[in-house]
Amino acid sequence: MTTLPLTRTGALRTGALAGPGPRPGVFDELSKRELRRAMLSGIAIPGYQVPYGSREMPVARGWGSGGLQATLALVGEDSRLKVIDQGEDAGVNASNLRRLITEHTGCDEETDTRAADIIQSRHRIPEQPLTDEQILVLQVPNPEPLSGIVREMDEQRRMHAEADYAKMWVRLYEDIVHNGLITAAAGYPVLVGGRYVMTPSPIPRWDVPKMNHSEAITVLSAGREKRLFAIPPHTRVEPLTFDDRPFEVEYTPGAVCRLCGSDDTYLIQEPGEDGTFSAWACSETDFCTRRRTGDAPADVAGRPAELARAVLRRSTREQEATA
């Protein structure tokens, strides 16, 4: 019987114990470790912007490079990854990022939100309530909520350090005075854990209530700005509002999804045959599909539709009282 030399056998055993070698790709292990350390800092201080060394990615900065780096730092070969673009699994951005990540890490693709370990999203939080075994990664184009108020970065840091958000409140008040309501749509400012004001950019206002006391970990990463922040499970996330101006979400009375008939999910308008936007459909394709088969929960995360209806009823009563 032929036996291998001792040195050869020892090398094979050492390689087996070490496991598979690093895959050639776009993100090295040291970079992943830096991102994971930054995420731990963000989880320890909810809403605090943690700087990190953003690497060059196969996508341009501002087009999801931050979310891509955060996801690559989290996924492994045994992970189940779901990637959505504005709620759609088959979108161009979602398909390209999903293919890139799976080829680089060897993880499995997933479209069912309930079965995914890591969910990377652009512009949306899933309607399906997330669990404590899931991580939501959001792509963020602009992580600084004070950028439209003060331009100097030193002043922004000072305001965050001292929790001096008076100018933010003045900005919201001026918006109400000039427009009759707060017009901020994507990136509505929120107070995290009663301490830091952050922007959940670029999700719509509809998704903001889903962040409050969510069971999942939420990581928001901006590759162009080289910052990330996180929200640990069961953290209080409150939209900035005035007592006499309750928080409102996007809502059109009477609008229902033409496919599943839902009126409590985030709906988008679709162009009809004549080119006019007359039809409505669910933004999230997975939840809409499961609603049609009866496999989706009756209550969506955060229940933003009930919040919208309450605001609508309150507004109607005020109009009747002044009539």
The Cα–Cα gap between 137 and 120 comes to 5
Amino acid at residue number 183: T
Q: Is-catalytic flag, 107?
A: no
Q: Is-catalytic flag, 288?
A: yes
The Cα–Cα gap between 43 and 283 comes to 29
* Catalytic residue chosen out of the listed positions 42, 67, 260, 302: 260
The Cα–Cα gap between 75 and 55 comes to 17
108: how many CB neighbours lie within 10 A of its CB?
15
* Catalytic residue chosen out of the listed positions 64, 223, 282, 302: 282
* Tokens read off for 1: 């019987």
* Catalytic residue chosen out of the listed positions 47, 87, 187, 302: 47
Helix (H) or strand (E) holding 237: strand 237-239
- CA 188 remoteness from chain centre: 13
Write down the residue that tokens 């809403």 correspond to: 47
The Cα–Cα gap between 308 and 254 comes to 12
Q: Is-catalytic flag, 257?
A: yes
Taking alpha carbons only, the member of 78, 76, 63, 77 closest to residue 36 is 76
β-partners of residue 198 are 190
* Catalytic residue chosen out of the listed positions 64, 107, 288, 302: 288
Buried b (16+ CB within 10 A) or exposed e, 17-29: eeeeeeeeebbee
Burial of residue 74, with CB atoms counted within 10 A of its CB: 0-12 exposed, 13-18 middle, 19 or more buried: buried
The residues that are catalytic are 47, 257, 260, 282, 288
